[in-house]
Structure 1
Amino acid sequence: MKDRLVCVIGGSGFLGRYVVQALLQEGARVRVVARDGRDGWFLKTQSGLGQIQFASGDVRKADTITRAVAGTDAVVNLVGILKGDFQGFHVDGARNVATAAAGAGVKSLVHISAIGADPKSQSAYGRSKGEGEDAVCAAFPAATILRPSIVFGREDQFVNRFADLIRALPVVPVIRGAVKFQPIYVGDVAKAVVAALADPTLYSGKTYDIGGPEILSMTELNRWIGSAIGRGAPLIEMPDAISHLMVRTIGWLPGAPMTKDQWLMLQSDNVVTGTNGLQAMGIPPTPLEAVADGWLVQYRRHGRFAGKTA
């Protein structure tokens, strides 16, 4: 990867900062692309002199992406949303990136999708992710597609969100308690991106499900988080009929805890099918408990000075 110029679209986001850091450590030059190029400036301290660049680009505006990828050796598309304009970001945006990459003659493209991506999915999120994969493969057949399970890390909006709820509530309602996840550490996803870019002849044109070493149900995950932050609030699994009524009634409101589409996403397990892509790439998966304690201490009653049990 040394001295190769890699365009990371969405490089200022949660996953993006880890991908950028991993690429810089491998000696690559990185162009960080965000809707506002200044959003990535905090990454300057991770790089050597002249090793990092910043550009503005919106995947929904093809001309901005064409300019952003010009002159690069490889492209990574990390752009994704959990609610909003799925068609614009996940389908049209993915097509714009792949088309621009092909037009620029880049050697490799890595596209981040998600486990459960399927044009026939009952959720708009899953459908758009599946349609986005099809659009990428049509425009850039040699693309590597990575489909992670739920990604966790210090800045995530998954483990942190549950930890905040467990800290705040005397009784914690659990929606779809039996659904299973295979949480993957954000640093491992970044390693997979670098591996795919480093050897495009081996990984090009392939799609990999990637997940962590453990499979946990929603209830098991909440129970583990409660133990890790020393708060033993009772967990109550909500019946599907009640949770469905809730998301239909208030799921459309700004700040709602869950949308109807997110509820639909929880109707299927979010786990690797077949071989874990991390195994195929020789990347040891990181357990949640190996790293989460480093930031979950903020949710304990007395911070890092408190024990794990209430």
Structure 2
Amino acid sequence: MDVASNQLVTVFGGSGFIGRHLVRALANKGYRIRVAVRRPDLALFLQPIGNVGQIHPVQANLRYPDSVARAIEGADAVVNLTGILVESGKQSFEAVQEKGALAVAQAVARAGITRFVQMSAIGADADSPSAYARSKAAGEAAALSEVPTAVVARPSVVFGPEDAFFNRFATLARFSPVLPMVGDGSTRFQPVFVGDVAQAITRAVQGRATPGATYELGGPEVKTFREVLEFVLAVTERRRLIVPLPLGVARVQAAVLETLNAISFGVMPQALLLTRDQVTLLQRDNVVSDEAVAQGRTLAGLGIQAETIEAVVPSYLEHYRRMGQYDTGKYA
């Protein structure tokens, strides 16, 4: 019998974008998976991914330590994927990505579990002017302080069918005559396929990653902000003007959009929302460091051949074309 079939992995945030791909990857390896979420009823869609009884959603709220402890009871490994891109009400960066990570790490430490993976992001920095980046760094520090054998996963921008990156720009291109570009478009990204991120975390759960190490996960290509927008327009076969937004103008616009989102109780379409913290993040490159490459703390170091955006993105952006998936035009 496969050893993994006797092992239980608790995944916090397992119903999210990366989570659903990780649950599938773990299920394919034979693990039993406990998906810890605030609303288990909204995670039931994950159960058909595995065999009967293999995937089980449970209720857990990072603000309540007892629920966190129950969620990891009897687990052999724990993965914390919980995170947010935009703050809303009690869901602040500090509450979710700093205090939440600490709550999970403390529970893992008390349970004596040594296989623990903490999701972070490239750009995590305790001294960053971005609150998002600071909270990610604090989450990393909490994980490694409480569980020295923890593995930290720092992906660049993650892409896949449900992503909030390529889909966002394709949505804007569908109804807007222009695509706004924060800054001069020179900020660099290293988009990484969600399936590759899931495989990297799975290998960490299997014990194939260096304990206590931080892995930076990026795809095989580095693209500037402008190149990303040009790629989206090429795939969706739309002609749009790319308009640079000076940082000062972008911050003012972001402040207005944040206010509108607040007074509309968060119902503003995510494709239209831009925050001042995101403007700050867009001033810094989001690529794998030379140090991580040299030390093998990358996808390649885990034996994973990264997918290109050209191989994946057109398959889910085609419906943004004028004739959708029935458009006879081909992306080349």
Question: Residues 24 and 30 of structure 1 are in contact (CA less than 8 Å); yes or no, is this contact kept in structure 2?
Answer: yes
The reply on whether 1:148 has 2:155 as its aligned counterpart is yes
Seen in structure 2, the aligned counterparts of structure 1 residues 249 and 54 have a Cα distance that, compared at 3 Å, is closer
TM-superposed deviation, 1:243: 1.5
Give the letter aligned to residue 158 of structure 1. F
Q: Secondary structure at the match of 2:61?
A: coil
In structure 1, how many angstroms separate the alpha carbons of the residues matched to 2:288 and 2:204?
A: 18
Q: Secondary structure at the match of 2:6?
A: coil
In structure 2, how many angstroms separate the alpha carbons of the residues matched to 1:104 and 1:211?
A: 32
TM-superposed deviation, 1:170: 1.3
> Cα deviations across residues 211-237 of structure 1 (Å, max 9, x unaligned)?
001111111001001100111212121
TM-superposed deviation, 1:102: 1.4
Q: Secondary structure at the match of 1:137?
A: helix
Give the aligned partner of residue 243 of structure 2.
236
Q: How does 1:212-231 map onto structure 2 within 5 Å?
A: 212-231=219-238
Equivalent in 186, 200, 207 of residue 178 of structure 1: 186
TM-superposed deviation, 1:277: 1.0
Instruction: Give 5+ residue unaligned stretches, structure 1.
Output: none
Q: Secondary structure at the match of 2:34?
A: strand
Equivalent in 6, 21, 31 of residue 3 of structure 1: 6
The reply on whether 1:263 has 2:276 as its aligned counterpart is no
Q: How does 1:186-225 map onto structure 2 within 5 Å?
A: 186-199=194-207, 202-225=209-232
In structure 2, how many angstroms separate the alpha carbons of the residues matched to 1:140 and 1:252?
A: 39
Q: TM-score with structure 1 length normalisation?
A: 0.96
In structure 2, how many angstroms separate the alpha carbons of the residues matched to 1:117 and 1:208?
A: 12
Question: Residues 227 and 308 of structure 1 are in contact (CA less than 8 Å); yes or no, is this contact kept in structure 2?
Answer: no
Equivalent in 48, 51, 55 of residue 48 of structure 1: 51
> Cα deviations across residues 89-118 of structure 1 (Å, max 9, x unaligned)?
011100111111111122300011000111
Give the aligned partner of residue 138 of structure 1.
145
In structure 2, how many angstroms separate the alpha carbons of the residues matched to 1:58 and 1:288?
A: 35
TM-superposed deviation, 1:302: 0.3
Give the aligned partner of residue 273 of structure 1.
289
Give the letter aligned to residue 43 of structure 1. L
Give the letter aligned to residue 5 of structure 1. L
Give the aligned partner of residue 77 of structure 2.
74
Equivalent in 162, 166, 179 of residue 173 of structure 2: 166
Question: Residues 252 and 259 of structure 1 are in contact (CA less than 8 Å); yes or no, is this contact kept in structure 2?
Answer: no
Question: Residues 181 and 245 of structure 2 are in contact (CA less than 8 Å); yes or no, is this contact kept in structure 1?
Answer: yes
> Cα deviations across residues 38-96 of structure 1 (Å, max 9, x unaligned)?
12100111111221111011122221111100100000000000122111101110011
Question: Residues 229 and 308 of structure 1 are in contact (CA less than 8 Å); yes or no, is this contact kept in structure 2?
Answer: no
Between the aligned residues of both structures, percent identity stands at 41
Equivalent in 24, 36, 46 of residue 21 of structure 1: 24
Q: Once structures 1 and 2 are overlaid, which stretch shifts more, 243-252 or 43-52?
A: 243-252
Give the letter aligned to residue 213 of structure 2. K
In structure 2, how many angstroms separate the alpha carbons of the residues matched to 1:308 and 1:229?
A: 10
In structure 1, how many angstroms separate the alpha carbons of the residues matched to 2:326 and 2:279?
A: 37
In structure 2, how many angstroms separate the alpha carbons of the residues matched to 1:142 and 1:59?
A: 21
Give the aligned partner of residue 99 of structure 2.
92
> Cα deviations across residues 248-304 of structure 1 (Å, max 9, x unaligned)?
344343136211111111110011102151011010010011011221111010011
TM-superposed deviation, 1:308: 4.0
Instruction: Give 5+ residue unaligned stretches, structure 2.
Output: 262-267
In structure 2, how many angstroms separate the alpha carbons of the residues matched to 1:3 and 1:242?
A: 56
TM-superposed deviation, 1:196: 0.7
Question: Residues 114 and 150 of structure 2 are in contact (CA less than 8 Å); yes or no, is this contact kept in structure 1?
Answer: no
> Cα deviations across residues 186-210 of structure 1 (Å, max 9, x unaligned)?
000000001111125x421110111
> Cα deviations across residues 174-194 of structure 1 (Å, max 9, x unaligned)?
113111100000000000001
